[in-house]
Structure 1
């Protein structure tokens, strides 16, 4: 046997070994994020929840009477419905969502929130998403004016003395170190970056996120509702989880804050794994086994894990299983009217465990409808 024959046989055997012993482990059915039982697919569920939003009037945190301005839960649901319409290719849905916006350029103009607080400024994410999908400049102009005011010099009645200190250090004057902020601020700034490609917007959001991570993340990867309230409130932590996932989805990898944010995100995801119930749900107080299973936080954590698996940041088997369990658990909480049950009502901070356990469990609250739409979108990406 000559040298060429030996080399040919060796090459053949090498190929056989590679084919016969693949390095990449196939994803199990339990971790699969594409095939779903009848009635649970993201397209079916997303369509139901988005259509329900379209016919829902402007709401005021489930309180009687219409709101004076668009509230942030409505903003979050509107953004979710728009992203779902895009990922599902539903042009008719997009038109209806744009039609809902049109009165804000006319008779309902006063419904546009003044961007002097994070809960109001997040509204800018909606016109920016409409611009991304329609390229109509009127949406861009409105969205950017809101995003830019978040980093403009402090002004208005909501400005506190520390606002100037934060602004002088390069942070938004709307900084208050509440964990909710890391979705509210990130959402509008990331959207401005997606709409324009201008890195100043994503740089702002990234710097702000690191500030919050350094100040607020606990050693176990989770976040207290506030520094003086040592409870891991589900939806509060949910805002952080979604905010990091949304930011990481768009931030360039050469951004100097990328690695720090990814570390904070992975630490949080690893901790959340430990507290997921067998039915896929997370609880009102994440680490409290006596707390009730809550849907808005579960949907937020599920979104963050879906996004991590889809982008290759998280182990697809471990976190794919958790994300699938989360989604299948959530859909059991959607009633025949396409309303999500067991949604914690709007909640201020209080250093009292019972306060959190006794919070009202709403049905159809947009705090819960919104992250269902985010999950459906993420599963279709």
Structure 2
């Protein structure tokens, strides 16, 4: 009888130890299989960015100006270089920018649209390191332009824009889901550089208005009111935008609790729709849609930020993060390019349209959030 009891006890203890070991391994965001750690992967993707021509995700043609996917990858590479103290990489990223003050001036976009305004994030982020006044002036020009009525607009447009400014919203407001990364990023950076709270306060106010206007009851977002689909990367911009903004907001900010509640609601829904392989689909709630990596990486990034900052319960969300990171790496080739990235996508009220979007490899829409993830995991 004693032997039986002891056997049961030892067996139970063994099961408990195995469960504890599995739980620890599942929530471990520091130790990774060889070659799959964020420093190795981040360096691979960052170096790939440095060697890539401008706007390399587009067909081989001279670009008219720098576009937001390149800006987002550039920002991610800077943050990765910063967290790994890679001064060589940081210098290369700065050198890539310098021609914009001279031979490549024509590639600097005009700040008349959210997709162009986010460009200001890069010079402001580089200014933190080099203290070069040119970088400051350029970055702040983009940040200030979002809340300054464009003088060269037609009169009818000026009236429309002024209505937004009167509500303390940027005149670039349009209630598209990607806006909440493009607007909040450059405003947050302006706040960090200047210490002037007007930048972060107006970004937070803008976010709250967007959330009140377009977030669905399940925490996710339609691509647009006339495109009622939970498109992956579109939702990724919202997830990343809220994460970035929450790290910058003071706990006493009047809008922080509203943004946090919306963030938590979204993360809960994303966890529910995460697939067994660790990733998410081109249409989040449609299991028949294909695996899409750019949105998946953005969701992983938002969850990493939540776990690292204590917004999300580590035991509940770290396993989702670990599974997503390891799954994403399987889509990266030896050159550092990630596959299964949805091509640029405008809104359309057509389910099949989203399923038929081209899947690209090396598109910076996907390269960028992999760099964000690598930085956040190492932070």
What is the TM-score of this pair, normalised by structure 1?
0.92
Q: Could you tell me whether the CA contact under 8 Å between 1:61 and 1:346 is conserved in 2?
A: no
Structure 1 residues 110, 323: CA separation in 2 closer, same or farther (over 3 Å shift)? same
Match of 1:184 in 2: 182
Match of 2:107 in 1: 111
Match of 2:326 in 1: 328
Structure 1 residues 312, 169: CA separation in 2 closer, same or farther (over 3 Å shift)? same
Which digits, 9 at most, give the CA deviation of each residue in 1:61-117, with x for residues without a partner? 422302110011100110110010001110000000000001001011111110000
Match of 1:149 in 2: 145
Match of 1:53 in 2: 49
In 2, the alpha carbon distance for the partners of 1:90 and 1:293 equals 33
Q: Could you tell me whether the CA contact under 8 Å between 1:60 and 1:71 is conserved in 2?
A: no
Q: Could you tell me whether the CA contact under 8 Å between 2:56 and 2:363 is conserved in 1?
A: no
CA positional deviation for 1:160: 6.6
Q: Could you tell me whether the CA contact under 8 Å between 2:149 and 2:158 is conserved in 1?
A: no
CA positional deviation for 1:141: 1.2
In 2, the alpha carbon distance for the partners of 1:144 and 1:221 equals 33
In 1, the alpha carbon distance for the partners of 2:152 and 2:362 equals 34
In 1, the alpha carbon distance for the partners of 2:152 and 2:328 equals 41
Match of 1:95 in 2: 91
Q: Could you tell me whether the CA contact under 8 Å between 1:179 and 1:240 is conserved in 2?
A: yes
Q: Could you tell me whether the CA contact under 8 Å between 1:344 and 1:362 is conserved in 2?
A: yes
Which digits, 9 at most, give the CA deviation of each residue in 1:289-312, with x for residues without a partner? 100000000000000000000000
In 2, the alpha carbon distance for the partners of 1:221 and 1:67 equals 37
Matches within 5 A, 1:267-278: 267-278=265-276
- 3-state secondary structure, aligned to 2:147: coil
In 1, the alpha carbon distance for the partners of 2:265 and 2:341 equals 26
CA positional deviation for 1:157: 4.3
* Alignment length (residue pairs): 357
C-alpha root-mean-square deviation of aligned residues, in Å?
1.4
In 2, the alpha carbon distance for the partners of 1:221 and 1:373 equals 25
Match of 2:343 in 1: 345
CA positional deviation for 1:139: 1.0
Structure 1 window deviating more from structure 2 (51-60 vs 279-288): it is 51-60
Matches within 5 A, 1:300-319: 300-319=298-317
Match of 1:15 in 2: none
Match of 1:214 in 2: 212
Match of 1:65 in 2: 61
Structure 1 residues not aligned, in runs of 5+: 1-24
Structure 2 residues not aligned, in runs of 5+: 1-19
In 1, the alpha carbon distance for the partners of 2:192 and 2:97 equals 20
Match of 1:16 in 2: none
Match of 1:83 in 2: 79
CA positional deviation for 1:365: 0.2
